[in-house]
Structure 1
Amino acid sequence: MTQNKILLAQNSAFIANRLPRTARALKEADYEVDILNWNRGVNAEIIQSATKSFGLEGITVHSVYCGNTPYGKGIITVFNKILFIIKVILFLFKNGHQYKVVHAIDFDLALPVYIAKLINPKLKFEFIYDIADFVETFHSPIPKFIRSMIKNLSERIMNHAKVVIIPDENRLVNIPKAFQNKTVIINNSIDPPQQTVDYEVKISGDTLNIFYYGALSKDRGIELLLKQKNVSLWFAGKGELQGEIVENADTYDNIHYLGYLQLEQILSVASQMDVIYMVYDPSYQHNQIASPNKLYEALYLGKPCIVTENTSIDLFVEKYDIGYITKFDEHSLNTVIKSLSKEELIVKGNNAKSIYPAFSWDTSKRKLVEIYKSITKKGDTI
């Protein structure tokens, strides 16, 4: 076992920013960092690009391939998912002795890490369970008994883990009291990219420009937004509503689809917009405790946002006066959008910019590195 070698594992490691910024922070703190992720086929290009980029930074990427496995297909891809779990376990049997810490993000990586340690007691690495999202609360057709099974397994994994990490104090509601003393909050704040890009879009100066990016799923208020008139709507990302967005963009001049964008491109586009859209359906528990990356990216850019009532971030938005709150219905959203003025948007954007330092990645990064120091005893003197 190498004293300072660690493994970060996540299903779609390079689609969100949580794993990449953690990897870079720990590399900067002089840890030897490997990444383990799932090459689902459909994300092969993203992985290829990330592998090359991280390789130049001295971080090794390991990818597990189990055949072409599209997102959001449920039971159709269950065999691939089981195969993935088996392959992760085998990877750990072969390589786990190298690592002082294995840091698994979300249940689908925490489960095989937990199983590997149960089966093979010779694996002595410490285990961090980082819960970016609670699978059992997702907007999806997962049956109730499976949700219950996942919840029970997840709590067993929490019990086994050295440290549990969550992105927001609102998520503590899903952490049993017995494990809250070893739970640490590492927020979803942005780790600003070292290199910026200019991704210019032809925005309309005469109308308001509203930007939604990320998962194009049905619980994200996208269908409500598509019905809004007299504003310019911009979308970026992948997901189940991608076809509908493309169809609308082909039909209406005020609707634009930019495809899947890298973080640097997202930040460039968002900086040109008037407001960032984060309207999640509050009927799902997953959204009631939302902690979207977009919120912190809006703070970083000094952009106001639109959020939904009863999604926890509405309280944050109201407290700091950094955006607007709507109910999750077309009429309420329409009323909010009609009330927007360019002058007020600038004021709320400035408010967002002013509070960013208090929620910056630098603050969370220090906390993360301290966690690792306490586990690896790095920096201790004799």
Structure 2
Amino acid sequence: MFIGWARAGADYEPAPYKVIYRSGTRIGARWGNFIGFLRWQRYLLATLYKHREKIAAVHCADLDTALVGYLFCWLFRKKFIFDIYDQYSSSRGVSGYASRIMNCMESYLAREAHLCIIAAEERVEQHRLQKGANAPLILENVPLEDLGAEEIPEYSGTLHIGYFGVLERRHRGIEDLVAFASSRADIHLHIAGYGAREQEVRLAASRSGNITYYGPMQWAEGVALMRQVHVIGGFYYLSNPNHAYAAPNKYYEHLMLGRGLLTTRGTPPGQRVERHGSGWAIEEGLDPLNRWIAELHLSDMRRAGMNARALWETRYRDYFQEHYVGRYGRHISQYSRSLENA
């Protein structure tokens, strides 16, 4: 069973195993979502209680679900799985005393979990997690299926850059990508997603022939769109402390699709694309974008795309089966047997 919260602008494909809580709260509204957050906690606990006889383990993503999930597992002797996507306080822009409380709660729940999951080795240090026998399970954000790569589209004097993801207000360089495309005749930005900057992006697209905004998309649709561009954009500005440990889906999607990734220098994605020659890592802001394109050659795009797909083939093609179905699946099978024997 999957329990999800579909906030404004987001949606889930219907399925028999999905239980969806719907509300009008917006992603990126921060404290403005507090009442909606409390209602979500109540809904989550009530849903877990209703299905308690069929539950062997609860897999919780971030503090949005972990507090209630841990309480439920403690009360009803279920296995608690804590999947830490990002450090909660940093990703929500919380600072000061509230941030320290959240970080302590996060570390405590990670230690108490029957299984803790993180997306990269670097995050062991970030979350002050244990090593050795009690080390967390590292599951990189690799797509569950290989949608395949195609040749880079023919270049006819206009560079097509794609962005598919959350349109966050800060720290992601959305505003710089939009300004970059708006100011040049040789750039076309294809952008899809939803979030706090959605209206700004929509307005920019209406004013500029160099920007096409596609609105929210399901994952397969968005990835198919990225296949039609020359370069995939994904910035992780270090004004958000989490981005020093960034392990984004876009990194693995660019490998799968065989497209070069344009990202931020000094972040894990930036270090990786430089190491493997699968993209470009630049400084933050508009000026570095203009310097990057001034030095870009068609051969660079093709080489980056070829290196990206080659790395996918050698390291990640079978990753989902080996690690998600294999390593994670063995934990779930063990927990399920404990329910059957109870």
Question: What TM bracket, shorter-length normalisation?
Answer: 0.7 to 0.9
Q: What is aligned with 1:215?
A: 166
Which one of 78, 84, 91 corresponds to residue 125 of structure 1? 78
* 1:343 shift after superposition: 1.7
Partner of 2:301: 345
Q: Return closer, same or farther for 1:148/1:256 CA change in 2, 3 Å cut-off.
A: same
1:367 equivalent in alignment to 2:327: yes
Q: Distance in 1 between matches of 2:174 and 2:62?
A: 25
Q: Kindly provide the amino acid, as one letter, of the partner of residue 219 in structure 1.
A: H
In structure 2, what is the Cα distance between the partners aligned to 1:314 and 1:268? 23
Instruction: Find the aligned partners of 2:204 and 2:286 in 1 and give their Cα distance.
Output: 17
Give me the whole-angstrom Cα distance separating, in 2, the residues matched to 1:98 and 1:173.
Answer: 36
Contact 1:163/1:182, CA 8 A, preserved across alignment: no
Q: Structure 1 residue 376: deviation in Å?
A: 4.0
In 1, the alpha carbon distance for the partners of 2:8 and 2:276 equals 42
Q: 1:203 to 1:90 in 2, by over 3 A?
A: farther
RMSD: 2.3
Q: Residue 322 of structure 1 aligns with which residue? A: 278
Match of 1:61 in 2: 18
Residue 176 of structure 2 aligns to a residue in which SS? helix
Equivalent residue for 1:134? 87
The alpha carbon displacement at 1:151 in A equals: 0.9
Instruction: Note closer, same or farther for the CA distance 1:190–1:269 as it changes in structure 2 (3 Å cut).
Output: same
TM-score by length of 1: 0.79
Find the residue that maps to 1:108 and give its secondary structure.
helix
Aligned twin of 1:184: 137
**1:107, 1:134 within 8 Å by CA — same for their partners in 2?**
no
User: For residues 38-84 of structure 1, what are the alpha-carbon distances to aligned partners after superposition, in whole Å with 9 as ceiling and x for unaligned?
Assistant: 243553xx23xx22xx33xxxx111234x432222233321221121
**Inter-partner Cα distance in structure 2 for 1:173 and 1:296:** 22
1:291–1:313 CA contact under 8 A, matched in 2: yes
- Report what 1:28 is aligned to: none
Post-superposition shift, 1:139? 5.5
> What is the alpha-carbon distance in structure 1 between the residues aligned to residue 306 and residue 70 of structure 2?
45
Please say if residues 271 and 281 of structure 2, whose CA atoms lie closer than 8 Å, have aligned partners that are also in contact: no
Contact 1:233 1:254 (8 Å CA) reproduced: yes
For 1:190 and 1:178, locate their aligned partners in 2 and report how far apart those are by CA, in whole Å: 27
Partner of 1:40: 7
Choose 318-327 or 72-81, whichever is displaced more: 72-81
Q: 1:259–1:40: structure 2 CA closer, same or farther, 3 Å change rule? A: closer
Q: With structure 2 as the length reference, what TM-score do the two structures score?
A: 0.88
Amino acid in structure 2 at the alignment position of 1:372? I
Task: Tell me the equivalent position of 2:107.
Answer: 155
| 3-state SS in 2 of match to 1:269 | helix
Q: Which amino acid aligns with 2:165?
A: G
**1:165 has 2:132 as partner:** no
SS for the counterpart of 1:169 is coil
State the Cα deviation string for residues 295-327 of structure 1 (Å, max 9, x = none). 111101111111111111111111111001100
* One-letter amino acid of the structure 2 residue matched with residue 173 of structure 1: E
Asked if the contact 1:97–1:124 (Cα under 8 Å) also holds between the matched residues in 2, the reply is: no
Instruction: State the alpha-carbon separation in 1 of the partners of residues 167 and 24 from structure 2.
Output: 20
Q: CA deviation at 1:193?
A: 6.9
Measure how far apart 1:374 and its partner are.
4.3
Say whether residues 1:78 and 2:34 are aligned partners.
yes
- Aligned match of 1:227: 179
**1:11 paired residue number:** none
Amino acid in structure 1 at the alignment position of 2:122: N
Q: Check conservation: 1:164, 1:184, Cα contact below 8 A.
A: yes
Q: Spell out, residue by residue over 1:151-180, the C-alpha distance to the aligned partner (whole angstroms, 9 max, x if none).
A: 111122112210100111122222324366
Q: What amino acid sits opposite 1:144 in the alignment?
A: G
Contact 1:304 1:348 in 2 (8 A): yes
- Assess if the C-alpha contact under 8 Å between 2:87 and 2:127 holds in 1: no
User: 1:187-336, aligned counterparts within 5 Å?
Assistant: 187-192=140-145, 205-217=156-168, 218-228=170-180, 229=184, 230-336=186-292
CA distance in 1, matches of 2:288, 2:316: 30
Q: Among all aligned residue pairs of Structure 1 and Structure 2, give the percentage whose two residues are the same amino acid.
A: 23
The residue identity in structure 2 corresponding to 1:104 is C
Number of aligned residue pairs: give it.
325
Distance 1:105 1:335 in 2: 39
Asked whether the equivalents of residues 42 and 69 of structure 1 are also in contact (C-alpha less than 8 Å), the reply is no
Counterpart contact for 2:8–2:24, Cα < 8 Å: yes
Contact 2:9 2:216 in 1 (8 A): no
- CA distance in 2 between partners of 1:213 and 1:100 (Å): 35
Residues in 1 aligned to 2:143 and 2:311: alpha-carbon distance in whole angstroms: 14
Partner-residue secondary structure (3-state), 2:130:
helix
